[in-house]
Structure 1
Amino acid sequence: MNVRRLIPTAVLAGAVALGATALTACSGAGAAGSKDGKLGVTASFYPLQFVAEQIGKEHVKVDGLTKPGVEPHDLEITPKQTAQLGEADVVLYLKNLQPAVDKAVAQSGVKNVVDAATLTTLEAHGAEPGHGEEGHAHQEGDEHAGEHAGGHEGHDHGGSGTDPHVWLDPVKYAEIAKGVGAALEKADPDHAADYKKNTDELVGKLGALDTEFKDGLKNTASRTFITTHSAFGYLAERYGLDQEGIAGVDPESEPSPARMKDLQAVAKKDNVTTVFFETLASDKTAKTLATDTGLKTDVLDPLEGITDTSQGTDYFEVMRSNLKNLQKALGAK
């Protein structure tokens, strides 16, 4: 008679569960990291969540702190989210974009914390004329890029004085992707080869997107676009365009009458046809300016989050919609 067969199933299951608990306790990977044995990654908002998902694929479980439809700049974090953050294996965030996240990350005690701002070069875009730098670090051959590449309205998140919207430049986003890939390789060396392969694949796709933008915006009737949210300084700089922001950082703030008058003059001088608004904020200001100047309105998405109203289901689809809308507004030939 086989004695081993007499061990009750429940006892065996209990022993396995006990062993698994002990393993989790010893591994140092918190609850967020131990689900299905995957690497637990917490990303502060959509662009970093997307990169982690694209590079980690089946080896990671990615949680986003900013839920779809929430303006990332306004995010508040609950004590429960702060506790969950402390259980992640890897935390990805962009310092100075979301003050609540910066504070929670500092308190989390997580070992593998990646600040995307350190993976590329952040710049100050859009100081008022005479109060800072405008349009620098252009690629060679960008003869249009020198003027007001960031627009006039400032971005001062958390007092850093730099523009955080780097993901809207595919070249800079690729630099972030490489850094995130390296962080995942370090945190989970067993799957390093897969992370490397997936990173190369994503960087390749971003290179192709960069080429599409470059070719698609090479010849246009105008180089100037007006937007409610001054999020497109890096994109403008990369492709030699001139962003004019209506109201700076807060897409819902009311611009001054003087600013509206300035923009009417800019629209006339630079053959502007369209005022852009975004999906996560009100289009009231854009419509007011458009009505006063006889311009059209359209969407330019800063890709801070994907919702049912987004013009696409992921980063690449929405960026291609942005390109199409820019081409239409600028009169691409």
Structure 2
Amino acid sequence: MRIRNIRSTLIIAAVASAAMLAGCSQSASKQLDSNRVNVVASFYPLYDFSKKIGGEHVNVINVVPAGVEAHDWTPKSRDLQLLNNADVFVYEGAGFEGWVDDVLKSIPADGPIVVEASHNVPLLKLEEAEEDGHGHGDEEKSDEHAHGEEGVDPHIWLSPSNAKIIGDNIKEALIKADPAHKAEFEANYKSFTESMDALDAKYKEQLGKVKQKELVTSHQSFGYLCRDYGLTQMPIMGLSPDAEPTAQQMKNITTFIKEHQVRTIFFEELVSDKLAKTLAKDAGVETAVLNPLEGLTEEQQKNGEDYVSIMEKNLQQLVKALQ
């Protein structure tokens, strides 16, 4: 088993103390375990997938705290310490984590196995995402450079078919870190792919019946989901949930709502819903939550929610709004 030796009890103590200082709710989840493969994930979906595929043989740490929007988060020294002493580090890639390039350069030679989760995933170029999802074009370029690698949409995890590729990348790293448990990782991955196939079948079956194919979302995160299931998104904001739309973009969205008789504007829980609700009020339509799964709230974590349960709730919301 490739469980790296923790360099010293002093490091363990320092990590534990830092985690304690980060708050009681985070302390238990941000400690390394010398008896298992320690996996550090850069945000929630990678944490969830790693737990499911690793099972009892892994200790998975999500460095982004509950309730924090992943786009806005950057690592602190205690997070870097955890990462450097882990066995595996899983990050999204495709330009999603603006901080990751500097971190990768600083990882020591005896540091973790590094997994770029987006490896082998067919990425949507920004132009394709705009064609499918009515992105904001040239006016969005500054946002694109901040949150998209070479003009690609990084929100790959919202496609169950992409999730299987991400899961395969994670599985291979776990096998490399702990070859003694290869059979269990393979079996867990098989179960994971079956759950993704079941989710994909539900989406295809239920969204195949809806009359409405257009949706308005708070930010441009559902390009892959729209691609997979024949939908079109009109985002209020760009690839980042903080990208403020111009007056012309707001006018275009209002026109889109009227032309396509859109009845619901979707917002997300971890960013302000003010703009979505203002637009909905002006257009005389409803609002509802569509979760981009960049992170869970503390309440969702306590209730045992996960990627699959949230994606199923997203499907219910979509069917309700589009039928």
TM above 0.5, yes or no, is: yes
Structure 1 partner of 2:168 = 178
Match among 133, 142, 148 for residue 150 of structure 1: 133
Structure 2 partner of 1:78 = 76
Letter in 2 for 1:151: H
Match among 199, 206, 209 for residue 216 of structure 1: 206
Q: Are positions 1:133 and 2:116 aligned together?
A: no
Q: CA deviation at 1:36?
A: 4.3
Contact 2:153 2:239 in 1 (8 A): no
SS class of match (1:163): coil
Q: CA deviation at 1:328?
A: 0.8
SS class of match (1:304): coil
Q: Between 312-321 and 150-159, report the one with greater CA deviation.
A: 150-159
The higher-RCO structure (CA 8 Å, 6+ apart) is 2
Q: CA deviation at 1:56?
A: 0.7
Q: Which runs of 5+ in 1 are unaligned?
A: 1-22, 126-131, 136-147
CA distance in 1, matches of 2:33, 2:62: 16
Structure 1 partner of 2:62 = 64
Structure 1 partner of 2:123 = 122
Letter in 2 for 1:325: Q
Q: Between 79-88 and 234-243, report the one with greater CA deviation.
A: 79-88
SS class of match (2:118): helix
Structure showing greater Rg: 1
Structure 2 partner of 1:38 = 36
CA distance in 1, matches of 2:285, 2:164: 35
Letter in 1 for 2:107: S
Structure 1 partner of 2:261 = 271
Contact 1:77 1:101 in 2 (8 A): no
Structure 2 partner of 1:324 = 316
Structure 2 partner of 1:161 = 151
Structure 2 partner of 1:108 = 107
Q: CA offsets per residue over residues 298-325 of structure 1, 9 Å max, x none?
A: 0010001111455971111110110000
SS class of match (1:323): helix
Q: CA deviation at 1:119?
A: 3.6
Q: CA deviation at 1:158?
A: 5.4
CA distance in 2, matches of 1:320, 1:283: 22
Contact 2:167 2:189 in 1 (8 A): yes
CA distance in 1, matches of 2:162, 2:275: 30
Structure 2 partner of 1:16 = none
Structure 1 partner of 2:46 = 48
CA distance in 2, matches of 1:269, 1:196: 49
Letter in 1 for 2:185: Y
Letter in 1 for 2:116: D
TM-score by structure 1 length? Answer: 0.81
Letter in 1 for 2:119: T
SS class of match (1:118): coil
Letter in 1 for 2:306: D
Contact 1:279 1:309 in 2 (8 A): no
CA distance in 2, matches of 1:320, 1:25: 39
Q: Between 36-45 and 303-312, report the one with greater CA deviation.
A: 303-312
Letter in 2 for 1:133: E
The structure carrying a bigger helix percent of its residues is: 2
SS class of match (1:162): coil
SS class of match (1:179): helix
Structure 2 partner of 1:141 = none
Among all aligned residue pairs of Structure 1 and Structure 2, give the percentage whose two residues are the same amino acid.
Answer: 37
Letter in 2 for 1:149: D
CA distance in 2, matches of 1:34, 1:64: 12
Q: CA deviation at 1:89?
A: 0.6
Question: In structure 2, do the counterparts of structure 1 residues 158 and 213 end up closer, same or farther at CA, with 3 Å as the change threshold?
Answer: closer
Structure 1 partner of 2:24 = none
Match among 195, 200, 203 for residue 205 of structure 1: 195
Structure 1 partner of 2:275 = 285
Q: CA deviation at 1:292?
A: 0.9
SS class of match (2:288): strand
CA RMSD of aligned residues (A): 2.3
CA distance in 2, matches of 1:54, 1:314: 10
Contact 2:5 2:34 in 1 (8 A): no
